[in-house]
Chains A and B, each alone.
Chain A
Amino acid sequence: MTLVDVESLSVRTADGSRLLDEVSLSVAAGETLLLCGAPGAGKTLLAKAIEGVLRRRDDLTVDGDVRRVGDVALVFQHPEVQLVRQTVEHDAAFGLENRGVPVAEIRTRIDRYARLLGVEPLLDRDVHDLSRGETTLAALLGVLVTEPDVVVLDEPLTALDHRNAELVLDAIDRLRSHGTAVVVAEHDLRDLLSRADRVVVLDDGRVRETGDPRHLAATLRAVGAKLPVATELALERDVRGGDVPLTTDELRE
């Protein structure tokens, strides 16, 4: 079932430059989709368009259509801005309070999703004291309790050290096993490529190709995405198509 359908989406600035040009893509239930491309290719803009917050900007002209069946939620590239209350627990409740969800239900959801993400110890913490990875997790909790069908993550690995990156990757894995569709916009694909069901390659605001990660590995390299070393190695040796490894384990075989 298709949850999000983007059709011929174009975004222009006031002076006419095209930030996104006739972009079409779809997000199916339960799938993990990567939006890849060099920085500046339009990934953040597309992520925002998929969520729907883009329609608020009056300095941009948006053409085309984004149809959504179900809820789409977004975690920003700088998630600190997204945390509006002092403690993680109070912040997670914010979106639900605004919707008027009964308090008992709010508590149940916070418990459930904190357990899903493994962040129960963070609930009482002050959001200012969190590490960068923990901040992403706190923002993710605030998003999950609204029970979206699709979670969009905008460059979640930026500026994260290895430990924090592992926290975020682990969270993505948990989301996937929970059945949520996950859309990740990133250019550092070293750990993400093996987790993707499908890849959309963006180049200068346009969709260059869409498809299977292995088949698109060469294109990804061409647009400057950072690939796993095993994949790079295989590409150098002209391996193509379904044989392209995405992890060092696969390379061995």
Chain B
Amino acid sequence: MNSESSVEIRDVRYAYDDGTPVLRGASMDVADDAVHALMGANGAGKTTLLRLVAGLREPDAGTVRIAGDDPVGFAPENPRAGFFAETVAAEVAFFPKNRGLDVDRHVEEALAAMDVADLRDRAPLSLSGGEQRAVSLASVLAGDPAVVALDEPSSGLHAPAQRRLGELLCGLDRTVLCSTHDADFAYEFADAVSVLVDGEVVRTGDPADVLSDRDLLARAGIRTPGLVDLAAELSLARVPSSLDEAIEEVAER
């Protein structure tokens, strides 16, 4: 196993119970401590791949190797799927308790990291969508996994919350593999992007490279990031990596 990879996926195949194939030989590496975005159309296999990495399913063929023995944290697309406790604190305590960790410390740290410490005594189901998403992530982080698999973490969040989430993920000292439809989010916050088309990873690389490849994006059913569009429309020399950069480029003309 490549010493720099946290996750190594080789020729993985997986079919649903009714026989429909969803992954047809997917391969990719996730670098240690990277924020790695998984993109592709609905049905291309993103969620399945995340579940395989999290150990929730076994591949029909191929291998999924995770560095280290820790379980992989998994946050589902619908944050409410995990909510069973009466308070946020009890919810977030679940994972560290199951792992036999110092519950109080881990809960406090996770709540602080997601900025939801003041919600600790609230009922998870009574929270707003964005707060539920934050609690769901906190409950995964509290278990101190080295690798986290997140399914559409930015979905349903408004712009400032998405920004905060992106910054948080970048600042985490863990390997993050997340699926997303949001090309702008991936462009701005991911260290690497893998594109899934019909159950195979057709390209893995730097977001700036991968997400400027219009043919690839069209094939994969992925929206072009706004900044890439902008660069094309305004015939900029290179694609700006942030809005501020874009403004500078435009101001210079």
Direct contact of A and B (CB under 8 A): yes
**CB pair A233 B233 closer than 8 Å:** no
Q: Does B70 contact A (CB under 8 A)?
A: no
Chain B residues positioned under 8 Å from A176 (CB to CB): none
Q: 1/0 contact trace for A172-191 toward B, CB 8 Å?
A: 00000000000000010010
**CB pair B247 A38 closer than 8 Å:** no
Could you tell me which residues of chain A, from 130 to 154, have a CB within 8 Å of some CB in chain B? 131-133
> Taking CB as reference atom, which chain A residue is nearest B250?
A233
Q: Does B234 contact A (CB under 8 A)?
A: yes
- The stretch among B82-90, B94-102, B157-165, B205-213 that forms the contact with chain A is B157-165
Q: 1/0 contact trace for A211-240 toward B, CB 8 Å?
A: 000000000010111111110110011000
How many contacting A-B pairs (Cβ < 8 A)? 89
Q: Does A69 contact B (CB under 8 A)?
A: no
**Contact A159-B152, Cβ < 8 Å, known A228-B226, A233-B250:** yes
Chain B residues positioned under 8 Å from A232 (CB to CB): 226, 243
Chain A residues positioned under 8 Å from B250 (CB to CB): 233, 237
| Distance in angstroms between the alpha carbons of A230 and B244 in the assembled complex | 13
**CB pair A159 B233 closer than 8 Å:** no
Q: Which of A133, A162, A224 contacts B222 (CB 8 A)?
A: A162
Q: How large is the interface on B (under 10, 10 to 19, 20 to 34, 35 or more residues)?
A: 35 or more
Q: Which of A40, A163, A252 contacts B129 (CB 8 A)?
A: A40
> Taking CB as reference atom, which chain A residue is nearest B224?
A162
Q: Does B130 contact A (CB under 8 A)?
A: yes
Chain A residues positioned under 8 Å from B40 (CB to CB): 161
Q: Does A39 contact B (CB under 8 A)?
A: yes
**CB pair A229 B243 closer than 8 Å:** yes
Q: Does A194 contact B (CB under 8 A)?
A: no
**CB pair B230 A187 closer than 8 Å:** no
Chain A residues positioned under 8 Å from B159 (CB to CB): 221, 224-227
Q: Which of B129, B130, B161, B247 contacts A233 (CB 8 A)?
A: B247
| Distance in angstroms between the alpha carbons of A131 and B221 in the assembled complex | 13
Q: Does A248 contact B (CB under 8 A)?
A: yes
Chain B residues positioned under 8 Å from A105 (CB to CB): none
**CB pair A39 B158 closer than 8 Å:** yes
Chain A residues positioned under 8 Å from B230 (CB to CB): 229-230, 233, 248, 251
Chain B residues positioned under 8 Å from A163 (CB to CB): 41-42, 221
**CB pair A229 B158 closer than 8 Å:** no
Q: Does A108 contact B (CB under 8 A)?
A: no
| Distance in angstroms between the alpha carbons of A226 and B181 in the assembled complex | 14
Q: Which of B161, B221, B251 contacts A224 (CB 8 A)?
A: B161
| Distance in angstroms between the alpha carbons of A161 and B223 in the assembled complex | 8
**Contact A39-B160, Cβ < 8 Å, known A228-B226, A232-B243:** no
Chain A residues positioned under 8 Å from B234 (CB to CB): 248, 251-252
> In the assembled complex, how far is the CB of residue B110 from the closest CB belonging to chain A, in whole angstroms?
22
Q: Does A210 contact B (CB under 8 A)?
A: no
Chain A residues positioned under 8 Å from B157 (CB to CB): 39
Chain B residues positioned under 8 Å from A248 (CB to CB): 226, 229-230, 233-234
**Contact A252-B233, Cβ < 8 Å, known A39-B128, A39-B129, A162-B181:** yes
**Contact A229-B161, Cβ < 8 Å, known A39-B128, A160-B181:** no
Chain A residues positioned under 8 Å from B113 (CB to CB): none
Q: Which of B155, B162, B247 contacts A159 (CB 8 A)?
A: B155
| Distance in angstroms between the alpha carbons of A233 and B244 in the assembled complex | 8
**Contact A229-B247, Cβ < 8 Å, known A39-B129, A160-B181, A251-B234:** no
Q: 1/0 contact trace for B148-175 toward A, CB 8 Å?
A: 0000100111111110000000000000
> In the assembled complex, how far is the CB of residue A24 from the closest CB belonging to chain B, in whole angstroms?
24
Q: Does B50 contact A (CB under 8 A)?
A: no
**CB pair B223 A224 closer than 8 Å:** no
> In the assembled complex, how far is the CB of residue B158 from the closest CB belonging to chain A, in whole angstroms?
3
**CB pair A158 B156 closer than 8 Å:** yes
Chain B residues positioned under 8 Å from A40 (CB to CB): 128-130
Q: Does B72 contact A (CB under 8 A)?
A: no
Chain A residues positioned under 8 Å from B221 (CB to CB): 161-163
**Contact A224-B160, Cβ < 8 Å, known A40-B128, A236-B247:** yes
Please name 9 further chain A to chain B contacts, defined as beta carbons within 8 Å, in addition to the given A236-B243, A237-B251, sorted by A numbering: A159-B155, A159-B181, A160-B181, A161-B41, A163-B41, A187-B158, A227-B159, A233-B247, A248-B233
Interface residues of B (CB under 8 A from A): 40-43, 77, 128-130, 152, 155-162, 181, 183-184, 221-223, 226-227, 229-230, 233-234, 243-244, 246-247, 250-251
Q: List 9 A-B contacts (CB under 8 A).
A: A39-B128, A158-B155, A160-B181, A161-B40, A164-B41, A164-B42, A223-B158, A232-B243, A252-B233
